[in-house]
Amino acid sequence: MADLVITDQNFAEEVLNSKTPVLVDFWADWCMPCRIVSPIVEELAKEYGDKLKVGKLNVDENGQTAQSYGIMSIPSLLVFKDGQVVKQMVGAQSKDNFKREIDSVL
The one catalytic residue among 6, 31, 40, 77: 31
C-alpha closest to that of 78 among 31, 15, 34, 18: 15
Range of the domain at 38: 4-101
The one catalytic residue among 4, 23, 24, 34: 34
Assess if residue 48 is contained within a domain: yes
pLDDT digits (tens, 9 = 90+) for 42-80: 999 999 999 999 999 999 999 999 999 999 999 999 999
| Contacts (Cβ under 8 Å, ≥6 apart) of 97 | 89
CATH code of residue 40: 3.40.30.10
Residue 63 amino acid letter: G
Residue 74 falls in the annotated catalytic set: no
Residue 81 falls in the annotated catalytic set: no
Assess if residue 106 is contained within a domain: no
pLDDT digits (tens, 9 = 90+) for 12-51: 999 999 999 999 999 999 999 999 999 999 999 999 999 9
**Start-end of H helices in the chain:** 11, 32-48, 63-68, 95-103
Q: Please count the structural domains in the chain.
A: 1
pTM of the model: 0.95
Please answer whether residues 88 and 34 qualify as being in contact, where contact means their C-beta atoms are separated by less than 8 angstroms: no
